[in-house]
Amino acid sequence: MSLDTVSTALSHGGVQGVYRHQSSATDTDMTFAVFVPPHEAGTKLPVLFYLSGLTCTHANVTDKGEYRAACVEHGVILVAPDTSPRGEGVADDPAWDMGQGAGFYVDATQAPWAGHFAMRSYVEDELPAIVAEHFPVDMARQGIFGHSMGGHGALTVALRSPGRFRSTSAFAPISSPLHCPWGDKALTGYLGPDRAAWRPYDACALIDDGARLPDLLVDQGTADSFLAEQLKPELLLQACERAGIPATIRMQPGYDHSYLFISSFMADHVRWHAERLYA
């Protein structure tokens, strides 16, 4: 699979790159960022996939996530894809919480979205294959995390992929799209009104249906304006407790939903993942 380099730059001794390729999953060009820390020639490193939230591209975490020093310290590659297909002919919506920038990591089945919005297939299958081909990654040591809509994506991808990810964490995830306005709107639009078809895209439903993780780390700000209506971490904690999944859900006093929050705890998440990726 061919890959075009958009840009590269040195940071903390490693290489921060942005890359573009033609996606068979979305039938569009897709862009993603990869940070490769310094390493000995021939060495393969663990890889950590980061999924971004509503309105974001790869650039939000690349510019504001403050992960590179931690990735160098712990020897972890970080991959950050875009949040949706984009471009001429790709369906969109005037609202910021639907359409381009808001793919919700689903494979859409409904018009006008089904032609391009296959983010589940992209992040689960196509992107990892491209990363494995072009970068020095050890695909036996994968972790995944994300923010908000991307936290929802990380949780559901990991829960649908037993044994694939050694570590899963999230910042302020949408814990149960079945029980919030963002989920009602997006999943109805992308998947149709049959709520049974939504269950593979709801972390709490997946856990109740038998999916498991070895453990889980979540950070959530108490001053997050989306906390009560959209994010509902208590539902995720309850689902983990019912299933016996060890879950650390840390309510961080005074923090909001922004990258000022994410960057405050990013290094701790990278460290937490590295402990499991190198175990």
Question: So which residues are the catalytic ones?
Answer: 148, 224, 257
Q: Which residue type, as a one-letter code, is found at position 83?
A: T
Helix (H, G, I), strand (E, B), or coil: what is residue 27?
coil
Cα distances (Å, whole numbers) of residue 195 to 15, 179, 192, 200: 43, 11, 8, 10
Residue pair 90/60 in contact by the 8 Å Cβ criterion = no
User: Which residue is it, tokens 């079945």?
Assistant: 178
DSSP string for 194-260: -GGGGGGG-HHHHHHTT---S-EEEEEETT-TTIIIII-HHHHHHHHHHHT--EEEEEETT--SSHH
Residue pair 7/18 in contact by the 8 Å Cβ criterion = yes
- Give the angle subtended at the CA of 15 by the CAs of 272 and 25, to the nearest 5°: 80
d(CA 44, CA 137): 5
What is the four-CA torsion angle of 93, 98, 103, 105, rounded to 10 degrees?
Answer: -150
d(CA 88, CA 105): 20
Q: Quick one: DSSP state of residue 170?
A: E
